[in-house]
Amino acid sequence: MLTADNLLVKRGAQIVLQEVSLALQPGEVLGVLGPNGAGKSTLLGALNGELTLAGGAVRLDGRPLADWQGTERARRLAVLPQSSTLNFAFTVESVVGFGRLPHESGRQRDREIIEAALDAADASHLVGRSYLALSGGERQRVHLARVLAQLWPGGAEQVLLLDEPTSALDPLHQHTTLQAVREFADHGAAVLVILHDLNLAARYCDNLLLLHQGRPHLQGVPAEVLRAEPLKAVFGLEVLVQQHPERGHPLIIAR
Smallest Cα–Cα separation from 3: which of 67, 54, 46, 51? 46
**pLDDT of 7-50, one tens digit each?**
999 999 999 999 999 999 999 999 999 999 999 999 999 999 99
Which of 153, 139, 151, 150 lies closest to 92, judged by CA?
139
Question: pLDDT averaged over the chain?
Answer: 95
Rounded CA gap, 122 and 141, in Å?
A: 7
Q: What is the pLDDT of residue 255?
A: 87
Task: Read off the amino acid at residue 64.
Answer: P
Q: Judge contact between 192 and 44, C-beta under 8 A.
A: yes
| pLDDT score of 66 | 92
Per-residue pLDDT, averaged over 81-103, amounts to 91
Q: What is the mean pLDDT of residues 132-141?
A: 94
pLDDT, residue 151, reads 97
pLDDT for 193 beyond 90: yes
In this model, does residue 106 exceed pLDDT 80? yes
Integer Cα distance of 170 and 155 in angstroms = 29
Q: Is 103 exposed, middle or buried (0-12, 13-18, 19+ CB in 10 A)?
A: middle
Domain count, the chain: 1
* Sequence-distant (≥ 6) Cβ neighbours of residue 182 within 8 angstroms: 29, 204
Q: Sorting pLDDT into bands at 50, 70 and 90, what band is 250?
A: very high
Task: Work out the pLDDT band at 218, boundaries 50, 70, 90.
Answer: very high
Range of the domain at 92: 2-254
Domain CATH for 58: 3.40.50.300
Cα separation of 109 and 41, whole Å? 34
pLDDT score recorded for residue 122? 95
With 90 as the cut, is the pLDDT of residue 86 above it? Answer: no
pLDDT of 108 > 90? The answer is: yes
